[in-house]
Amino acid sequence: SASTSSPPLQLPSASRREDRPEVTLPLRKKLGIALGPGYEVGESSSAAAARPAGGLRADYGFVATIDREIMRDPERDVGYGITDSLDEIVEALQGAPVSTDTELGGYMREFETRVRQDTEEIYIRLDDEQSERQLLAGRLNMLFRDRRAHTYTRHLMETGDRMSRDAWVRSTDASDLVRGEVMSLRTTVLGQMIEIRELHAADRRRRIVISELLRVDHRRSTEIIGLRTALQG
């Protein structure tokens, strides 16, 4: 058959860049993933013209740094938990000989399918991240809107506490004033009670003196009557 009679297809040399075959991916394929020293993945001229400068933006409000993360650490999962599922294809292309162009095309179609699936999964996770970001932004805006109400409530609470302290101080001062007035009034009443008792004692002494004077007057009147009777007899 053709697969057994054809000689093995060897990988091109890494030093001859012009001999490397290129695969054109759709516009959404923004991941710069290289197949190894013999192959590279590019994008069409229309896709390159439509691609925004400065990395993938995709209207998410922030620049996706997937390409930079891949170049910085190709072995990592690009920060989204997506395992690099292309290692098997790369190892197969680098380690095993490719017998026919059809088999190479199958490898490339499988590679494109996996890239498409991984890219769609990345976009789905980016959508989820954007939804969560919008939710957090909404909550933050709500907190900013409620900040004035919270400030006013705190002002009312502080004013109420201050008024309570002032009322307590005024109540304490008034209580001390009333207590002083009560003590002064009590002292006055005690003094008046002592004066009344002294007046009662003086009145009793005056009554005793009057009683003695009345008895003396009665005795004198009796003596006068006796003398008149003796003189007339």
Rounded to 10 deg, the angle between the 101-232 and 87-95 helix axes is 150
Give per-residue pLDDT as tens, 80-137.
444 454 555 555 555 555 556 677 777 788 888 888 888 888 888 888 888 888 888 8
Host H or E run for residue 42: strand 40-43
The residues, ordered by sequence, that sit 6+ positions from 1 with a Cβ below 8 Å of its Cβ are none
Length of the chain in terms of residues written: 233
Host H or E run for residue 124: helix 101-232
pTM (predicted TM-score): 0.29
**More confident call, 78 vs 225:** 225
Burial class (CB in 10 A: 0-12, 13-18, 19+), 57: middle
- Cβ atoms of 111 and 86 closer than 8 Å: yes
Quote the mean pLDDT of the chain: 69
Which runs of consecutive H residues, i.e. helices, occur in 85-100?
A: 87-95
Widest CA span in the chain: 201
